[in-house]
Chains A and B, each alone.
Chain A
Amino acid sequence: MAQNSGRTLYDKIWQSHTIEILPTGQTQLFIGLHLIHEITTAPAFDMLREKGLKIAFPERTFATVDHIVPTDMRSRPFLDSQAEELTQALEKNVAQFGVEFFGLDSDKQGIVHVIGPQLGLTQPGMTLACGDSHTSTHGAFGTLAFGIGTSQVRDVLATQSLAMDKLKVRRINVSGTLAEGVYAKDVILNIIRRLGVAGGKGFAYEYGGAVVEKMSMEERMTVCNMSIEGGAWAGYVNPDETTFAFLKGREFAPKGADFDRAVTYWKSVASDPNARYDDVVEIKGSEIEPTVTWGINPGQAVGISEKLPLPEEFADPEGARKAYEHMGWQPGKPILGTPVDVAFIGSCTNSRLSDLRAAAKIAKGRRVRAGVRALVVPGSAAVKALAEKEGLDRIFAQAGFEWREAGCSMCLAMNPDKLKGREICASSSNRNFIGRQGSPGGRTILMSPAMVAAAALSGKIVDVREYLK
């Protein structure tokens, strides 16, 4: 093959899933797996009823509840009548339309982007859609995974397909190694900082290089999860032995000889060594330090030892000024030492077992600073059970963290877990948007789960490496 004539994973999956080119010029793309939750689906089912349509492939849609569920008292009916009503709407819809549902009483319940991989539903070489922008998470498996709106949820239900436009592909090589105390979260925050929150517009991001190849599946999920924060509709990692080993034995993964045939297919979808990319970006892993956000979007991030940047350093100084106005701190000062009121470990970005282990390692034998409200919200019922089996819940509880039931929780504060007033939250979630954590004046500082644990113990933003010595 000639140089750079090969195909990317994106090209291959796009081609094999193309149904036809529509009169509009869009591609009708087959969607292999559809995940739904309570928030973005009720009107989609209403639209199906209005149009008199049924679900085309009901066995390819799976449902759970995550966004709205309380993480302390889960008894029904929920205290929040709206949450109860929305949950009942989903329960009614999945029953009426014949969709498999992992409800609150199921040991498979959890954040939709945690349970898909955990159950082996998410597989390489698939297209996957879900009415949630962090669907990019599933790209960690070499899956083309798209976040969609409610009208598109309706289309997937009715036709198992979407009208889409093809994206370009940007390869992001993270070379070298990461220092101790530097995590997958720091890698993706640095990528977004460098390329910008709109830098990925029109692109799918393909993550590779030595750092990504060495990552566990959970770390790859953290990276792919935040692709959308960089403006990329999808992000993925080519499937490899790490991917196959993760999937082997999972409930919905193929078994025995079927698994071997699956591996052959999964290997075939990886980007060719001579694949042609629309853009290539190089990032040195050794230059990444523990990273935190200082502003109101995930691209406004700094290394922990850096000073807060001046608005004039940005292409959009007005945007930086608005961020400072909301956050209430001064350019040129260190972020280190900023006091925190709340510490949140959870979300589809960082609520998996390895995240909880990393945080527990910091918390073990120490105490949350007086006055700090700290909570740990496992990503799924299964993650919670596994963590409890190895005693992580006791480590957290002894340190003064609240140990909760699975859900999205304070990432977007649709349940009772919310910031109050001007509280500052050290958060392992994915968005530091104004008002995101439930208080219009609330302030979010994004970081890795280990950094959140360190902030909870210190009552301020610290360098987690101090705790790893």
Chain B
Amino acid sequence: MTQIKNTAALAAHALECIRDDRMLFSHLEFRLEPGSALVLEGRNGSGKTSLLRILCGIRLPDGGSVTWGDTAIDKLGPDYLMHMAYVGHRDGVKLDLTPLENLAMARALGMPNEITLEDALEKVDLAGFEDVLTRNLSAGQQRRLALARLLVTDTSLWILDEPFTSLDVHGISVIEELLDAHTTAGGMIAVTSHHAVNLQNTTVQRINLST
């Protein structure tokens, strides 16, 4: 994987999120530097997904701000989005398209990089499934296809909501290797997971939203 040239850090300042009159979290502070990972833990409904959506800019925080470099992400707009890729709990792939067609679309929406779409599929262990309709893939394979979207654009920040859902042991280790390679190359990752996230070569900070 080629080295990522980004040096900006993602930081949260006094973040606050209220949902249905319930305070999910408040005064949340962290700083995510290039080359490191942030693992969000907490019980169901503790606001992990909400926090990730705030980090993407899909949802606005009820207080505080998220900055990229030194600028708030809502001011940066496309200049932030071009550095960021998000895989939510919905896969964001079309079941009636083939994996290749899905990746072509994902690539067109962002900043394309040099990797071929076939190589991206190979990296998530989907070689040979290029022309099968996504509908006919298993849940775990569909999940891996969603994660392959991360590889086809040039982004430094990956925001992942439960990336290991429906993956088997082998699938998890394949994805963990990808994540490790991404941070080693200077990228950064914000991830929620019920599974232990095993990143050997990465500085990992953990935040537990339940406490």
A binds B: no
Residues of A within 8 A of B (CB): none
